[in-house]
Structure 1
Amino acid sequence: MTTLVMGATGATGRLLVEQLLLRGQQVRAIVRSRSKARAALTDHPHLSLVEAEVCDASDRDIADWVHGCEAVASCLGHNLTLKGIFGPPRRLVTQATQRLCRGVMENGSNSPTKFVLMNTAGNSNRDLDEPISFAERCVLGLLRRTIPPHRDNELAADHLRTAIGQINPMLQWVVVRPDTLINETEVSQYDLHQSPTRSAIFNAGKSSRINVAHFMAELICDESTWSRWKGQMPILYNAP
């Protein structure tokens, strides 16, 4: 099985690559620089690197990237700098998600391709009636209007929910929603919920990046885990 990983040299993406390789998967990683990628990613015979800028890639390039892949995983995100948050491309995650989905459709695989998108607990699943307090709704509305990455996360997930939907014969998806991301060296116990059990604004939980990577790899490699969560937006918290 081959998985295409976007954002493979990021803080979570490189951990996902490691988790997939540990499971014996073939990984095709899109990286900006091969030399920098070698410092971040394990040198492994099952890992192939494609040096490219996602924003500059043609539709043909993207179709070639997803060709032969049974799964696509996106850990793309905005750098936490002024330029990364407020500068272009403001719709990095959304545009990549849309174009990757289109590439999967154009390839016409005989079986549905899995798409796993890393997102955020601050984004509600609008397929469900998730409870949000008035105060939290006000804060999220402000973030939506002033912080481009938040709106980008919402639109990326909405594309999978509405444009791809629940019964697409070519593509199945899961949107993984961690809360406050922290760094840990080893996988630990974590809890999964269909909807948030705490406020992402006023009572945020913690999600270690390695646990997020572990769950994303489980979704891709374990059919029972995939069947449990496909078409949903699970929340991941580290266990108390």
Structure 2
Amino acid sequence: MTVLVVGATGATGGLLVEQLLSRGCQVRVIVRTRDRLSESVRNHPGVEIVEAILLDLTDEELQRYVSGCDSVASCLGHNLTFKGMFGHPRRLVTEATRRLCQAIERNNPERNVQFVLMNTAGNQNRDLKEPASFANRMVVGLIRFAVPPHADNEQASDVLRQEIGKNNSKLGWVVVRPDSLINDAEVSSYELFPTPIRDPIFNAGTTSRINVAHFMAQLITDRELWGEWVGQMPVIYNSPAD
């Protein structure tokens, strides 16, 4: 199995690459510079490194890089700096999602390609009309206006829900929604829900990045799990401590 990972130099993306390699996958990554990858990943025989700025690639180049991939996983996000939050490209995740999906479709793959997008529990699945309090809607509305990355996350998932849809013959998708991200060294017990069970603004849960990476890798390599969640936006939380 060959998997293309974008956002592989990020905190979660690097962990996803390691999880995939541990399962025997061949991993192709598109990164600005290979120096930001861990040494173990850079030197791994199962890794193919493409050094490029993703959105600067031509349509033909993107088609070439998704060609032969059984799955594409995106852990793209915005750096938590002023430039990262408010600079360009403001729709990094959305445009990357759209262009990668278009590249997959243009290649006319014989088998349905998996697309797994890392997102956030703060982004509602509007297919399910998830309930939210008035206070939550007010705060999210302000965040949407004032913090461009949140709108980017919403629009990226809308590309999959609305433009790709759930009955696309070329690709299927899952949007993974962690709550407040934390760093843990080891995979721990976690729980999955179709919709949030906590208010992500006023009563947020926690999700370790390594658990997100583990779940994304499992989705990609476990056909039964994929079948359970394809076309959905599961929310992942660390299990409560006993």
Distance 1:42 1:51, change over 3 A: closer
- 8 Å CA contact retained: 2:175, 2:233: yes
Q: How does 1:163-202 map to 2 (within 5 A)?
A: 163-202=163-202
Aligned AA (2:98): Q
Aligned AA (2:16): L
Residue 44 of structure 1 and its aligned partner are, at CA, apart by 1.2
> What RMSD, in angstroms, separates the aligned Cα atoms of the two structures?
0.9
Counterpart position of 2:131 = 131
Residue 42 of structure 1 and its aligned partner are, at CA, apart by 5.4
- 8 Å CA contact retained: 1:13, 1:75: yes
The Cα offsets for residues 54-75 of structure 1, whole Å up to 9 and x where unpaired, read as 1211111111110000000000
Question: What is the percentage of aligned positions where both structures have the same residue?
Answer: 60
- 8 Å CA contact retained: 1:18, 1:42: no
- 8 Å CA contact retained: 2:114, 2:172: yes
Aligned AA (1:165): G
Residue 31 of structure 1 and its aligned partner are, at CA, apart by 1.0
More off after superposition, 26-35 vs 172-181? 26-35
Structure 2 unaligned blocks of 5 or more: none
- Is 1:70–2:70 an aligned residue pair? yes
Distance 1:30 1:40, change over 3 A: farther
Cα separation, 2, equivalents of 1:42 and 1:208:
24
Counterpart position of 1:116 = 116
Aligned AA (2:88): P
- Secondary structure, aligned partner of 1:200: coil
Q: How does 1:25-174 map to 2 (within 5 A)?
A: 25-39=25-39, 41=41, 43-174=43-174
- 8 Å CA contact retained: 2:41, 2:47: no
Cα separation, 1, equivalents of 2:34 and 2:196:
38
Residue 24 of structure 1 and its aligned partner are, at CA, apart by 0.3
Aligned AA (1:21): L
- 8 Å CA contact retained: 1:34, 1:49: yes
Cα separation, 2, equivalents of 1:223 and 1:216:
12
**TM-score w.r.t. structure 1 length?**
0.98
- 8 Å CA contact retained: 1:9, 1:40: no
Residue 35 of structure 1 and its aligned partner are, at CA, apart by 2.7
Aligned AA (1:154): E
Counterpart position of 1:5 = 5
Cα separation, 2, equivalents of 1:36 and 1:10:
9
Cα separation, 1, equivalents of 2:205 and 2:88:
30
Cα separation, 1, equivalents of 2:231 and 2:76:
20
Aligned AA (2:3): T
Cα separation, 2, equivalents of 1:229 and 1:58:
32
Structure 1 unaligned blocks of 5 or more: none
Residue 182 of structure 1 and its aligned partner are, at CA, apart by 0.4
- Secondary structure, aligned partner of 2:88: coil
Cα separation, 2, equivalents of 1:41 and 1:77:
20
- Secondary structure, aligned partner of 1:138: helix
Cα separation, 2, equivalents of 1:235 and 1:126:
14
The Cα offsets for residues 93-112 of structure 1, whole Å up to 9 and x where unpaired, read as 00000000000001110111
Aligned AA (1:168): N
